[in-house]
Amino acid sequence: MSSIRKNIVKLRYQGTNADFRGKANEDYKKRSKDQDTSGPRKSRQKVDWSKITFVFVTPLVWKDKQDWADKKSAEGVWRNVTVIDGVDLQDWLETAPAVNLQFAAELGLAPEEGLQTPELAWKEWSLRSVPPASEGLVVAGRQEQEREFIERLSAPPGTFTVRGDSPREVLGEDLRANLHARTVVAENEGVAARLAHLKNLIVILKQPRGQVSGFLSSRNCHVVVPEGNDERSMGNVLVVPRPTHREFSEALAGMRLSEEEADQTSRACGRSVTILQRQRAPANVWTLTAPVDAFQLLAHRLTSANLARFKDAFRKVFGRIDSKVEIPPEKRIFHSQRLEG
């Protein structure tokens, strides 16, 4: 049984009892008393049931449920009486993919390939480090960006990009939003587009393939695209900065690292969750997820000869003037055609 207070609704869940009609009558009679029988006896108070809706829920199919509900409503004890049976639950789950995925996960059923619930995706993401990354680590120094993230999801549907050190790091930030009942995590846009009912969903893409189309947003979905700092999408981008050393080390301390270890770890990874997840990956797991990670890992191997070659290449590329920029914009297309000819 579950109660939703504030004089709105009283739910009775019947379970798998085959005699659902008998159970409904029993619960209706018991709950129609002039006293709220839930909670400690001393705190029980008289309740005006005429302001509350009685809802009976059964996973079985009740063909004449409306007749029973109408008869009980006519007695005038409750504001309204309604029944939700297995058919209603099935229809609801089909039109609510995010809840359907979560329900399937709780039953131990494998969801459609390429789709995850936010809870499962977060667990998978957080376990990429030892100890597991905490929510506090993800939002450290990013409270303003977190508020903006929620505001964007409250605005009219559309697609926006969240940029950080790596797409994987940004994924962790995205999963922090407490809107799980509407959220699905999809491997890519193609997987998300296979959902039969696309409406009012928040779709977080794990590995977008090239430019994301407007198909999902045209179906009233919010689409969140993670992006690394090595990419540069134009417009509608939320940039997630690195926290300060103090903010990062305090978040690490919250993961039960000692103050000294948290301080050393923060300095070693440069306050980057991306680098932290590689440095503190579980045994026998090694990943390289972003250019910033590669540079931090290989920088000590750079020699003066490497830097000298980079300097020469930089001067050669950026020291040459592109003749096209010296002519008026309207004539540049003809300039390119002459070069090709």
Q: Check residue 1 and give its pLDDT.
A: 36
Q: Check residue 138 and give its pLDDT.
A: 93
Please state, as a whole number, how many other Cβ atoms lie within 10 Å of the Cβ of residue 93.
Answer: 16
Q: Check residue 3 and give its pLDDT.
A: 41
Q: Check residue 119 and give its pLDDT.
A: 86
DSSP one-letter code for 299: G
Q: What angle do CA 152, 158, 162 make, to 5 degrees?
A: 55
| Residue ranges of the chain whose pLDDT lies below 70 | 1-17, 34-45, 105, 107-112, 177-178, 196, 209, 284-297, 322-341
Torsion sign (Cα): 9, 14, 19, 20: positive
Q: Answer yes or no: are the C-beta atoms of 141 and 244 closer than 8 Å.
A: yes
Helices (H), 243-327: 245-253, 259-268, 273-279, 291-298, 304-318
- Output the DSSP codes for 39-58: S-GGG--B--GGGSEEEEE-
- Output the DSSP codes for 180-229: GGGEEEESSHHHHHT-S--SS-EEEESS--SS--SHHHHTT-EEEEEEET
Q: Check residue 175 and give its pLDDT.
A: 86
What are the residues facing 318 on neighbouring strands? none
Condensed to tens digits (0 to 9), the pLDDT of residues 24-49 reads 999 899 888 755 555 555 555 677 88
337 Cβ contact partners less than 8 Å away, ≥ 6 residues apart: none
10: three-class secondary structure by DSSP: strand
Condensed to tens digits (0 to 9), the pLDDT of residues 314-330 reads 888 888 776 666 666 66
- The predicted model scores a pTM of 0.64
Condensed to tens digits (0 to 9), the pLDDT of residues 228-276 reads 988 878 778 999 999 999 999 999 999 999 999 999 999 999 999 999 9
Q: Check residue 5 and give its pLDDT.
A: 42
Please state, as a whole number, how many other Cβ atoms lie within 10 Å of the Cβ of residue 193.
Answer: 15
Burial class (CB in 10 A: 0-12, 13-18, 19+), 179: middle
Structure tokens at 181: 């009942």
